[in-house]
């Protein structure tokens, strides 16, 4: 894991108020730290959530779901990752633009990490607009972003559990 990504993750879990819980999970399940750092690099702390940076909210949800999975005997890796992507669709609900004298470019969250986009546009003005980057259903956005940061072997479990949860929620009146 790159040192910059590790630092970004460390800052995010501190902001989210989950340092001790996350560290415990990362020591028991080392891949969670790798995937979390990759996710943090993908959406950064720049994107706003409902109560602070979106990445912080995603990490809090991931830790909570992992804790519940441990208590119930469910797969912790899948539960954590489901939590990590539970609000990821909100990354697509905004448009991040780099602006310069003779033009602009929007970030495509399905093509490039926000970290990469910001590095390519270092020194340029960055704006976040309240317009969706893509007009797609939330579940498609979540799963597409998950495919960018999670390994295929785990993505199968996440997709299966995700579809099961979506079916249950849709069936309720």
Q: Is 137 exposed, middle or buried (0-12, 13-18, 19+ CB in 10 A)?
A: exposed
- In total, the chain counts a number of residues equal to 173
Which carries the bigger pLDDT value, residue 153 or residue 98? 98
For residue 109, the model assigns a pLDDT of 92
Q: What would the mean pLDDT of 121-133 be, rounded to a whole number?
A: 93
Give every CB contact of residue 15 below 8 A, 6+ residues apart in sequence: 45, 52, 53, 56
Q: Which residues contact 153 (CB under 8 A, 6 or more apart)?
A: none
Kindly give the interhelix angle for 19-28 and 3-15, rounded to the nearest 10 degrees: 130
Residue with tokens 């702390």: 45
For the entire predicted model, the pTM comes to 0.87
pLDDT for residue 165: 62
For residue 92, give both structure tokens. 């697509």
Per DSSP (E only), the strands in the chain are: 95-100, 103-106, 125-129
What is the tens place of the pLDDT at every residue in 77-125?
989 999 999 999 999 999 999 999 999 999 999 999 999 999 999 999 9
Give percent above pLDDT 90 in the chain.
64
- Residue 5's pLDDT is what? 82
- Model confidence at 171, in pLDDT bands (50, 70, 90)? low
Write down the H helix ranges in the chain: 3-15, 19-28, 30-43, 54-72, 76-85, 114-120, 138-149, 152-171
pLDDT at 152: 84
Mean pLDDT, the chain, as a whole number?
90
Task: State the DSSP string of 21-43.
Answer: HHHHHHHH-HHHHHHHHHHHHHH
Positive or negative: CA dihedral 142, 143, 148, 153: positive
39 pLDDT more than 90 = yes
66 has a pLDDT exceeding 90: yes
């Amino acid at each position: 894991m790159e040192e910059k990504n590790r630092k970004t993750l460390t800052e995010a879990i501190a902001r989210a108020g989950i340092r001790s819980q996350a560290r415990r999970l990362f020591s028991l399940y080392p891949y969670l730290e790798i995937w979390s750092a990759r996710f943090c690099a993908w959406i950064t702390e720049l994107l706003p959530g409902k109560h602070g940076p979106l990445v912080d909210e995603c990490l809090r949800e991931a830790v909570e779901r992992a804790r519940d999975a441990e208590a119930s005997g469910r797969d912790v890796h899948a539960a954590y990752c489901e939590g990590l992507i539970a609000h990821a669709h909100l990354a697509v609900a905004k448009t991040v633009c780099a602006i310069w004298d003779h033009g602009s470019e929007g970030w495509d969250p399905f093509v490039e990490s926000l970290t990469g986009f910001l590095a390519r546009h270092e020194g340029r003005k960055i704006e976040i607009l309240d317009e969706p980057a893509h007009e797609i259903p939330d579940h498609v956005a979540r799963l597409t972003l998950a495919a960018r940061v999670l390994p295929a072997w785990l993505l199968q479990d996440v997709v299966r559990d995700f579809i099961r949860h979506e079916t249950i929620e849709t069936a309720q009146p």
